[in-house]
């Protein structure tokens, strides 16, 4: 039996960020992205804090793009991994069952609408994109139709079908033969109404527009197999969908036998202050796409499918790594902590407080054009306040300044992401266990970064 432990070589402990990054550039494809924005090599992580190879500490408000709901290396999560390793359970099972999978499945179902009584689970490949692919295929199989409606600004993954229903055009460049019959529609935006109306009138117009498209026999758009959307767009700039808009989409899809797929990969599991973001509108999807937090930091993706739409035949959608036992263990531990410690209510309260603090900051720093989001999924849109606003009073976005602020945040020891059109939105996705003191550290470091980026405060009126 091998007794050598996997360890970091003592010589490696003295390498710098610069050395590691140079080696990564040599070893890896040009496709790598985060090291270009966040040039560090992580050597230690605990809760909301990470330490790099140069022994600098950072407050992490990215948390694996929302994957690490409990932050880095939560002791109960680590213990769950150790328990599996010493239990004799297999680490790889395809879709064979184990007592652990049984317990995880029962608990996950209990968190779905109606305690999951009308749902069944499908374990897919380990990424959210894998689950999206399965959901699209299933919708086509159930309905016998081939088209899909998606929304501008939506993000659903980078595999072929998932990319086809994703709004971002950049990764689609020079990729021919995307999945056919994908119809994009405008998604409501709290700050930049796509119809140029804004406010409640804009939401009502968008709601009518969707309703009319489906019901109009001259719309030119064939009845789709499914509508896929995020109840809060994440990568698209942290845009929460208005409840009345979501409710109307649910009603229309039900009336026409169209499956409604809710992508909860980033917003699910208490991130928005409720178990799922769609709960803010009081609706029930036909298919729920889950990944990121559901695996407790390890790769796992699952569909929640209304049983009446479970049209799969055995083996018609498979995946070698759909039985990740370690991820089920860490996922079960994470889901139990979120539920038993009532983290959703904590997150909802913290989110409202933090948005209030950022609104106060906005009064002194008008480059903050808009603050939005739900729970601990918050977006800060950076604008050019000295240029002319549009007819809705919205200033032009400033992607260059947003990038500079992100860089200055990093230099100040704060990690956050950007998103939205032209990267103008600074995005917060911290651990859901972040405390008040750490949120105040964020606010201090963020203001430091604004000043370091050359942004000068004004006197509030």
Give the residue, 268 or 11, on which the prediction is more confident: 268
Confidence class of residue 2 from pLDDT cuts 50, 70 and 90?
very low
In the numeric block, which tokens belong to residue 288? 């729920």
Task: Please check whether residue 55 is in contact with residue 411, taking contact to mean a CB–CB distance below 8 angstroms.
Answer: no
Q: What are phi and psi of 233, to 5 degrees?
A: -70, 125
Question: Average pLDDT, stretch 405-420?
Answer: 98
- Please state the rounded mean pLDDT for residues 257-268: 98
351 vs 69: CA distance, rounded Å = 15
Find the mean pLDDT for residues 4-30.
77
**Residue 218 burial by CB count (10 A; 0-12/13-18/19+): exposed, middle or buried?**
exposed
pLDDT of residue 1: 36
Q: Which of 86, 371, 142 is nearest to 257 (CA)?
A: 142
Please answer whether residues 95 and 134 qualify as being in contact, where contact means their C-beta atoms are separated by less than 8 angstroms: no
Q: How far apart are CA 48 and CA 416, in angstroms?
A: 12
How far out from the chain centre does Cα 148 lie? 21
pLDDT at position 3: 41
Residue that is written with structure tokens 């704060």 in the block? 414
What would the pLDDT profile of 122-166 be if each residue is shown by its tens digit? 999 999 999 999 999 999 999 999 999 999 999 999 999 999 999
Mean pLDDT of the chain: 95
The pTM assigned to this predicted structure is 0.95
Mean pLDDT across 21-49? 95
Per-residue confidence (pLDDT) for residue 176, from 0 to 100: 87
Which residues make Cβ contacts (< 8 Å) with residue 114, sequence separation at least 6? 284
459 pLDDT band, cuts 50/70/90, is confident
Burial of 151 (0-12, 13-18, 19+ CB in 10 A): buried
- The pLDDT of residue 283: 98
Question: What was the pLDDT predicted at 118?
Answer: 98
Question: Is the Cα dihedral 197, 168, 419, 402 positive or negative?
Answer: negative
> For residue 461, what pLDDT is reported?
64
**Terminal C-alpha separation, the chain:** 72
Q: Please compute the mean of the pLDDT values over residues 343-365 and round it to a whole number.
A: 98
pLDDT in tens, 84-130: 999 999 999 999 999 999 999 999 999 999 999 999 999 999 999 99
Residue 436: both structure tokens together: 């008040």
Q: Which of 274, 168, 166, 149 is nearest to 222 (CA)?
A: 149
Instruction: Give me the mean pLDDT over the 239-264 stretch.
Output: 98
Evaluate if residue 75 carries a pLDDT over 90: yes
């Amino acid at each position: 039996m091998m007794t050598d432990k996997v360890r970091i070589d003592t010589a490696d402990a003295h390498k710098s960020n610069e050395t590691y990054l140079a080696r990564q550039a040599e070893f890896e494809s040009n496709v790598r992205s985060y090291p270009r924005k966040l040039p560090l090599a992580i050597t230690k992580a605990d809760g909301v804090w990470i330490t790099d190879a140069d022994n600098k500490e950072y407050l992490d408000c990215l948390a694996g793009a929302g994957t690490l709901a409990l932050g880095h290396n939560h002791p109960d999560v680590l213990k769950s991994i150790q328990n599996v390793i010493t239990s004799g359970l297999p680490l790889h099972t395809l879709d064979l069952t184990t007592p652990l999978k049984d317990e995880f499945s029962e608990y996950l179902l209990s968190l779905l609408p109606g305690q999951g009584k009308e749902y069944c689970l499908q374990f897919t490949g380990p990424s959210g994109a894998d689950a999206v692919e399965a959901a699209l295929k299933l919708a086509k199989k159930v309905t016998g139709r081939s088209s899909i409606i998606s929304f501008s600004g939506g993000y659903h993954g980078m595999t072929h079908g998932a990319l086809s229903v994703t709004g971002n055009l950049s990764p689609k460049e020079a990729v021919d033969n995307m999945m056919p019959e994908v119809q994009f529609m405008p998604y409501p935006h709290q700050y930049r109404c796509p119809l140029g109306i804004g406010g409640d009138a804009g939401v009502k117009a968008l709601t009518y527009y969707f309703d009319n498209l489906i019901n109009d026999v001259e719309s030119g758009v064939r009845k789709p197999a499914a509508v896929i959307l995020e109840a809060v767009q994440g990568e698209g700039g942290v845009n929460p969908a208005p409840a009345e808009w979501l409710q109307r989409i649910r009603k229309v899809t039900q009336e026409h036998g169209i499956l409604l797929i809710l992508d909860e990969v980033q917003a699910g599991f208490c991130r928005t202050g409720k178990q799922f973001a769609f709960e803010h509108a009081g609706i029930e999807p036909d298919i729920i796409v889950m990944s990121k937090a559901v695996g407790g930091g390890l790769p796992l993706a699952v569909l929640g499918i209304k049983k009446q739409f479970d049209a799969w035949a055995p083996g018609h959608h498979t995946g070698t790594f759909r039985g990740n036992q370690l991820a089920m263990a860490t996922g079960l531990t994470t889901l139990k902590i979120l539920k038993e410690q009532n983290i959703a209510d904590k997150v909802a309260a913290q989110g409202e407080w933090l948005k209030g603090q950022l609104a106060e900051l906005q009064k002194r720093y008008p480059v903050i054009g808009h603050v939005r989001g739900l729970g601990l999924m918050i977006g800060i849109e950076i604008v050019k306040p000295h240029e002319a606003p549009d007819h809705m009073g919205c200033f032009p976005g400033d992607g260059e300044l947003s990038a500079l602020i992100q860089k200055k945040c990093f230099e100040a020891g704060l990690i956050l992401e950007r998103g939205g059109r032209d990267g103008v939105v600074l995005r917060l996705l911290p651990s859901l266990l972040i405390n008040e003191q750490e949120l105040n550290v964020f606010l201090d470091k963020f203001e430091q970064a604004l000043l370091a980026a050359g942004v000068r405060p004004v006197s509030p009126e």
